[in-house]
Structure 1
Amino acid sequence: MATQMADEIMPSSENTPGSPTSSTGQIPLEQPPKLKGRKKFLQNLQRMSSSPTLTRRGRSASTGYRRDHKASLSCVSLSSTAYSPCLGNESSSQLYGGLNPRPATPGYAGPSGDAQGINNRIRLVGTDSPNTSQPRTIPLPFDVRPASRGSPRSLTPDGAKEEAEIERETAPPEPRLVRELDFWGELPQELKVEVFRYLDPREIVRCSAVSKAWNAMCFDGQLWTKRIPGDILVKLITSGGPFVRDLNLRGCAQMRDKWSSEGERISDLCRNVVNFSLEGCRIDRISMHHFLTRNPRLRYINISGLNSVTNHAMKVIAQSCPELESFNISFCKHVKTTALLQVVQACQQLKDLRASEIQGFDDEDFMLALYERNTLDRLVMSRTDLNDESLKVLMHGVNPTIDLLTDRPTVPPRRFRHLDVHHCHDLTDSGLKSLAHNVPDLEGLQVSQCPELTDDSVIEVIRTTPKLSHLELEDLENLTNLTLTELAKSAPKLEHLNISYCESLGDTGMLQVMKSCPKLRSVEMDNTRVSDLTLMEASYRVRRRGYGEEIPKVGLRLVVFDCANVTWAGVREVLSSNAYLPRVRKPVSAVVTVTQTSEDDSSPTTTAFVTPSSTPPPVATYPSEIIQLKCFYGWQMTVDEHTKRVKRGDLAAASRLDRKWTDYMMATEEAGAAGAGARRRRRRAREAERLYNADDSEEESYGIGLSALGGTRRRRAQSGSSCTVM
């Protein structure tokens, strides 16, 4: 068998048709015939090498293995990669040169200088026998091994260098600073909401317990746009049972049929509710009374706008909810102050009472109960029948003691922080003056749409309320600029001001307010006499709030639509201010003077050298705050687009839009003017309109850098000459 295998592997001693030379190294006289068909195919095949080292040895093309004049495809491949299964039997780890074909050129010598081209044996490390205990790796030479400290070789400079190089090569790589990716935290809010849309209501409620951020997101109104079936809502409420603290059923109209059948079960399970809201929820009277009776820990109740709320419900709340602090009963048609009096007397911790459109505020007994309680921080009495006498009882009580020196009642000051009496037509200056000197902690006052009020009462209240931050004076036709002037002096903490439809107010008072109230956040002055001067002053004051590296945010909201004196030039001033950055200041330079005296000339020569400062000044990147403007509807789309670009930090695009809109408005005004040159003005108007409607291009003549350096401002004319500083 061994003989037969050797015959198969060993090549024939005769010259094959594909060999160019004979075994003696002489060139044959006759050329071998050309091969065809299978022989030609096998002639171009190469034999696979069983070791990577043989691939680098010169080899001739294989002629195939012949046995009975038949070619064998054993150990033959169409590629030049190594064929590993050739040594898979592990019978021998030595390769012999007889397995290789003859060299391609005569006199080829192998790596050992064999002139006959016979390859020496190639020994693979550690593969002498399968059971050998020899290591399969070759140790490093002695001269490149790392030496221990104190050894003779480590003391030599070369050894130290080698040791340092080896340590540098063998040292572990320095850890790369990989930024931690907060995948969920960096997602936009819209995508987060879209992910939660795939959850059912019960799963959303369970996710709300993960964190505060998830709780706010799970109860986002966008997730509950589709009406939840009443059965699922009842299961969600009853599954919480005694663990429910906040039950907000605002707008759940689908619970109308469930309260009659499941109301008693819900009341029996939910007995620890603290905050309860039924605004816009259809509930029958019996179910509501039953629920209020079973929850004595209620502190916040919102039942505004419910037709099922009657005077009997006030009696139930007064008897069952002694810890009540906030009560909203606005727009309940079947409730009067005679029944609400029971709640005020029984709930000693009441701090927030909202009772808009409740009849009976002209009752002095009810107002006297509020005066004696004196625990309210917020009182809403808008759209009621409040009059001067009842408001005086609320502030001074009945028959107060009068101070002879000041001619004012000597009563304890009221604790009101927010007072809303707007749309009370019976209120006049006599009643509003009772607030003066009695509400020192007042922060919010709403007296809009009280047509009888004038400067006398409003100014007296403003002077005695230094903490005033929100003031509503809408539609008070009798007010003048004296009120705004006094407001600028007495209310430095003012944040919100509404003077809409006060047609007598103008720039005289508003300029003082803009200068003296640095904390302004919102000003509504539509249908007034304010002009572009107010907008310019507001832009200047907002710019003074500073610059920083963060994206701009809205710092002041102005409402100036339907103001006849506000033109597009004032609106353009606001837009330019939002995208304006101050010019970059040059670094402070030091001037060094050197005096030199030459040998030929006795006169000294003075030379001045300018050395720049080593610490450049900080460069502003974005304005800290901008103005959000609501103006004429024809300009509003441009204003909104400009504000959008500024809020995302693209000041260059905002400046381009500002320039195009300015050119368009100027061309429009010229085109509308009569006289000579009308055709030229119309042509310029069309050109400006074309530029305005064209898409914004990133590469324009002004560039981003010029915009950042104040490119929106007027530039000086430049001459054609140039100056070169050597």
Structure 2
Amino acid sequence: MANLETTTRNSVAIDTTPLKTHLGRRKRLLRRLSRIASSPQLHKSRHVQSTDKLLGKTSASCISLGSSRRCSIEEIRDGFEVRVAVEPHSPDVLRASTTVSSRKTQRADRPTVNPFTMIPDELKVRILRYLNDRELIVASGVCREWHMLCFDGQLWKTLDMTEYYNYIPAEQLIRIIAQTGPFINNLNIRGCLQLEPEFAEPKALKHCTNLRKVSLQGCDFTRPTIHHLLSINPQLESVNLVGLSKVANSTGSTIAKFNHRLQTLDVSWCLSMTAKSIRRIIMNCPDLKNLAASGIWGFGDPDIMNEAFLRNKLESLSLQGCDDFGDSAFKALIVGKNTPIDYLTGKPSVEPRKLRYLNLTGCPELTDSSIETLAGNCPDLEVLLLSNNAELTDHAFKQLLPTVPKLVTLELEEVNNITAEFCRALMDAPCARRLRSLQLSYCVNIPGEMLGELVQALPCLEKYEVDNTLATDDVVSKCLALVKERYSASPPDRRSPNIHLRCFDCPAITWGAINTALVENLGLRQADVAHPILTLHSFHSWQPTIDEHHKRMMRGHYTAAKNLQERWAEKMSGADRRRSRRRLTFLGRREDGERRVGCSIM
């Protein structure tokens, strides 16, 4: 034993690795093992019995006396771990080499510190702001402190349940609303159908008294619940009640009575409400700027539209599907009733309207007279939707387009009476340099070459819809050319947008043009990942291949996208060859029949 200690002290390099100090029993066990290791009989035996059973699970790493014929012993000296390696089969001298790890011992009674508890509460709340509503609800179950932090009023100014209401029971949602209600400014429970039984009583939302924005779209709550919510929040600025069957004229009266600060109102498709209640709202809410009342009956009355004209506050108006809205009501909205006429221009002398968004889709009683009234009176108009109005012609747009220089979106789906004259007026209009979205689907009287020329005249075009029109392959090729031109002209730090082309059921567009677009898109994307491309929506039988090619290309699987395009091109070319052979066979048989008929006559 003395020799072993002398050898150890002379040849051991001490490494300071901390260990735990509660090792009294372990020391005694190691001393016994060291005596066993220094025994003269140890080197005589080829195999040493394993001491795992002696050491137990806690000490299994201290010694190894297996078949490797090399044993390692650990000792604790002055708070350090000493590991001695012994070779038992040396005949004369027991050679021992020891290595000592440099780990310092740790105190067992040292308390663990949670860094999160050392942060001020203000900073904790600021960190939790990066979590969305669903993540906050999950984090609130960690402990009581986290529960208090996660339900701090600063984190619940907005409660949007549209993304996770299906994953949380209705009882939990009600509890969340009750706990965070006094702090919520923006409440969105759109589509939460499971809350209908819970909201049968008006007191269900009694805690939400500081709302500024509320959206109940798609929730069929009771009428008393809706009226109570509106009455206890006089500071409401935005209300969304789209599609609620319980909303009626009494709801409009409640809004007119309590919500005088209202700026945005959407009561589209509330079929139990009429335009009379909307008139009451317009009269009592002087700050109303955005009004959506699609599908509501009664807007054909000029007196109702005259109230909106007198206020001149509306910036957005949507009357989609209002069948009774005609020329007289539209003129009352734009120029009012009994307005004096300017003798120099012959037009009503009125202040320009502030409208920026106007949706009159599906108003069949509108004619060119209404569009001519709009000309010159809405210089800030940016979005104009006039689809499904079959009475409109080129003459109206020739007068309108030069007076709306800020127009960026124009939809004229199923306006069948517009022709090439409209296209020329649009190309010459000042808004042509700004227009981003143009929809001309089902406009069958526009020539195919004019649809292609429009692409060249609209440099900022991003969305182009020409479904069921006379569009040709030239439209596809010019859209590709515009993509390349836009990329080369854009600065390096600004990415130019893609172009979305919808050409469903256009018989003049062939698969060859679509195939060329797929090849060009792949080449552009391989050259530069940030390069814009042309996204296509073509025939329904071709669309799955187009979508799959786009997915592979966007994922960076260029070889797979190329293989798909080549297989599709081979398939389509083979189908064309078979079709041409059948056609030639049919024509040959027809010629043979004509010859036989001619011979029989002779």
Q: Same fold (TM over 0.5)?
A: yes
User: How is 1:423-442 mapped onto 2 (pairs within 5 angstroms)?
Assistant: 423-442=362-381
Partner residue, 2:15: none
CA distance in 2 between counterparts of 1:400 and 1:551 reads 48
* Aligned 8 A contact 1:207 1:214 in 2: no
CA distance in 1 between counterparts of 2:436 and 2:208 reads 42
* Aligned 8 A contact 1:556 1:627 in 2: yes
* Aligned 8 A contact 2:498 2:533 in 1: yes
Q: Deviation per CA, 1:291-316, whole angstroms, max 9, x where unpaired?
A: 21111010011112222212122111
Residue 282 (structure 1) aligned with residue 189 (structure 2): no
Q: CA deviation at 1:397?
A: 1.0
Q: Which protein has the larger Cα radius of gyration, Structure 1 or Structure 2?
A: 1
User: How is 1:17-56 mapped onto 2 (pairs within 5 angstroms)?
Assistant: none
Name the CA shift for 1:509/1:77 in 2 (closer, same or farther; >3 Å): farther
Residue 569 (structure 1) aligned with residue 512 (structure 2): yes
Q: Deviation per CA, 1:483-540, whole angstroms, max 9, x where unpaired?
A: 1222222221111111111111233322222112122111111000001001000011
CA distance in 2 between counterparts of 1:86 and 1:213 reads 56
Q: CA deviation at 1:622?
A: 3.4
Q: Residue 536 of structure 1: which of 455, 460, 477 is its match? A: 477
Residue 237 (structure 1) aligned with residue 205 (structure 2): no
CA distance in 1 between counterparts of 2:498 and 2:97 reads 79
Q: Residue 521 of structure 2: which of 578, 596, 610 is its match? A: 578
Q: CA deviation at 1:635?
A: 1.2
Question: What is the percentage of aligned positions where both structures have the same residue?
Answer: 30
Please, what is the CA RMSD of the aligned residues?
Answer: 4.2
**Segment of structure 1 superposing worse, 358-367 or 469-478:** 358-367
Partner residue, 1:392: 331
User: How is 1:199-210 mapped onto 2 (pairs within 5 angstroms)?
Assistant: 199=138
Structure 1 counterpart SS, 2:541: helix
Structure 2: runs of 5 or more not aligned: 12-38, 47-67, 78-88, 99-130, 586-602
Residue 629 (structure 1) aligned with residue 549 (structure 2): no
CA distance in 2 between counterparts of 1:440 and 1:328 reads 25
CA distance in 2 between counterparts of 1:413 and 1:656 reads 58
Q: CA deviation at 1:52?
A: 12
Name the CA shift for 1:505/1:233 in 2 (closer, same or farther; >3 Å): same
Partner residue, 1:673: 580
* Aligned 8 A contact 2:355 2:378 in 1: yes
The one-letter amino acid paired with 2:470 is: R
Partner residue, 2:186: 246
Q: CA deviation at 1:275?
A: 0.7
* Aligned 8 A contact 1:482 1:509 in 2: no
CA distance in 2 between counterparts of 1:207 and 1:529 reads 62
Q: Residue 343 of structure 1: which of 281, 287, 309 is its match? A: 281
Name the CA shift for 1:580/1:199 in 2 (closer, same or farther; >3 Å): same
Partner residue, 1:326: 264
Q: Decide which structure has greater helix share.
A: 2
The one-letter amino acid paired with 2:541 is: G
Q: Deviation per CA, 1:461-487, whole angstroms, max 9, x where unpaired?
A: 112111111111000110112212222
Partner residue, 1:646: 553
Name the CA shift for 1:400/1:236 in 2 (closer, same or farther; >3 Å): same
Name the CA shift for 1:290/1:196 in 2 (closer, same or farther; >3 Å): closer
CA distance in 2 between counterparts of 1:435 and 1:233 reads 48
CA distance in 1 between counterparts of 2:227 and 2:45 reads 92
* Aligned 8 A contact 1:276 1:301 in 2: yes
Structure 2 counterpart SS, 1:497: strand
Residue 499 (structure 1) aligned with residue 440 (structure 2): yes
CA distance in 1 between counterparts of 2:148 and 2:446 reads 54
CA distance in 2 between counterparts of 1:213 and 1:578 reads 45
TM-score normalised by the chain length of structure 1: 0.60
Q: CA deviation at 1:282?
A: 2.0
Q: Residue 272 of structure 1: which of 202, 210, 213 is its match? A: 210
Name the CA shift for 1:444/1:271 in 2 (closer, same or farther; >3 Å): same
Partner residue, 2:230: 292
CA distance in 2 between counterparts of 1:50 and 1:551 reads 74
Name the CA shift for 1:293/1:443 in 2 (closer, same or farther; >3 Å): same
TM-score normalised by the chain length of structure 2: 0.71
User: How is 1:697-708 mapped onto 2 (pairs within 5 angstroms)?
Assistant: none
CA distance in 1 between counterparts of 2:250 and 2:205 reads 21
Partner residue, 2:111: none
Q: CA deviation at 1:669?
A: 1.2
Residue 516 (structure 1) aligned with residue 471 (structure 2): no
Name the CA shift for 1:306/1:123 in 2 (closer, same or farther; >3 Å): closer
* Aligned 8 A contact 1:352 1:379 in 2: yes
* Aligned 8 A contact 1:50 1:87 in 2: no
* Aligned 8 A contact 1:298 1:324 in 2: yes
CA distance in 2 between counterparts of 1:655 and 1:83 reads 63
Q: CA deviation at 1:452?
A: 0.6
Aligned length: 485
Q: Residue 560 of structure 1: which of 485, 498, 503 is its match? A: 503
Q: Deviation per CA, 1:324-350, whole angstroms, max 9, x where unpaired?
A: 000011111221122211110111110
* Aligned 8 A contact 1:551 1:648 in 2: no
The one-letter amino acid paired with 1:562 is: D
User: How is 1:145-184 mapped onto 2 (pairs within 5 angstroms)?
Assistant: none
* Aligned 8 A contact 2:160 2:188 in 1: no
* Aligned 8 A contact 2:227 2:251 in 1: yes
Q: CA deviation at 1:200?
A: 9.5
Structure 2 counterpart SS, 1:410: coil
The one-letter amino acid paired with 2:445 is: S
* Aligned 8 A contact 1:50 1:86 in 2: no
Name the CA shift for 1:408/1:196 in 2 (closer, same or farther; >3 Å): same
CA distance in 1 between counterparts of 2:200 and 2:41 reads 90
Structure 1 counterpart SS, 2:486: coil
Structure 1 counterpart SS, 2:243: coil
User: How is 1:398-409 mapped onto 2 (pairs within 5 angstroms)?
Assistant: 398-409=337-348
* Aligned 8 A contact 2:156 2:183 in 1: no
CA distance in 1 between counterparts of 2:156 and 2:45 reads 63
Structure 1: runs of 5 or more not aligned: 10-46, 55-70, 89-98, 103-118, 126-191, 583-618, 679-726
CA distance in 1 between counterparts of 2:243 and 2:258 reads 21
Name the CA shift for 1:641/1:230 in 2 (closer, same or farther; >3 Å): closer
Q: Deviation per CA, 1:157-201, whole angstroms, max 9, x where unpaired?
A: xxxxxxxxxxxxxxxxxxxxxxxxxxxxxxxxxxx99x9699499
